[in-house]
Amino acid sequence: MTIHDFDMAAFLLGEDPVKVFAVGSSLVDPEIGKAGDIDSGSVILTTKSGKIAQISNSRRATYGYDQRIEVHGSKGMVHAENLRATTVEVADAEGYRREPLLNFFMTRYTQAYANEIATFIKALETGKPMKPSGEDGLKALAMADAAVKSLKEGRQVEIAY
């Protein structure tokens, strides 16, 4: 699943990462580890100018489909929160309670998928380049390949585009 975060990181950083360091473990499901994979992992991407992106992923979040993002800069921070069925939050003597996280990506990203299709159709109609492009997909794959190598070798790896 982290490959989706790689292209998002490059977009938010405004430049392609050049190095990656990845660590991971099988903490949730021992069968994943026996199959040679991980279920919990972290990745640090570094750009040529020194910008850093940190990605943490787990195959299981028992409390819902948890996906958040924060971008920190010298003038502030932007944070995108998880979506919930409603924005209602109850606060009383027992504490704070609100709706659980949406638990399925198709529910959570319905509008995003509709926007992507509309953008694709508009690009076809106007002849404007597609974004993201096939090249962007290849770059995300290069980051993923480098992250796997980093995980296996336990060291930072340069990304070969």
CATH of the domain at 54: 3.30.360.10
Supply the mean pLDDT for the chain: 92
151 within some domain:
yes
9 within some domain:
yes
The residues with which 79 forms a beta bridge, in sequence order, are 70
49 within some domain:
yes
115 within some domain:
no
119 within some domain:
no
12 within some domain:
yes
Residues 6+ apart with CB under 8 A from 122: 128
Q: Which pLDDT tens digit goes with each residue over 107-148?
A: 888 888 999 999 999 999 999 988 888 899 999 999 999 999
Phi and psi dihedrals of 59, rounded to 5? -75, -15
- Number of structural domains found in the chain: 1
Say how far apart CA 70 and CA 13 lie, in whole Å. 12
Residue 79's pLDDT is what?
Answer: 93
Tokens of 69: 């993002």
121 within some domain:
no
Cβ–Cβ < 8 Å for 41, 56 = yes
The range of the structural domain enclosing residue 17 comes to 2-102+133-158
Residue 38's pLDDT is what?
Answer: 94
Q: Which pLDDT tens digit goes with each residue over 19-29?
A: 999 999 999 88
Q: Is the pTM of this model over 0.75?
A: yes
Phi and psi dihedrals of 19, rounded to 5? -135, 150
Question: 10: exposed, middle or buried (C-beta count within 10 Å: 0-12, 13-18, 19+)?
Answer: buried
Average the pLDDT over 7-18 and give the result.
94
Say how far apart CA 70 and CA 84 lie, in whole Å. 18
**Beta-carbon neighbour count of residue 40 at 10 Å?**
17
Residue 85's pLDDT is what?
Answer: 87
66 within some domain:
yes
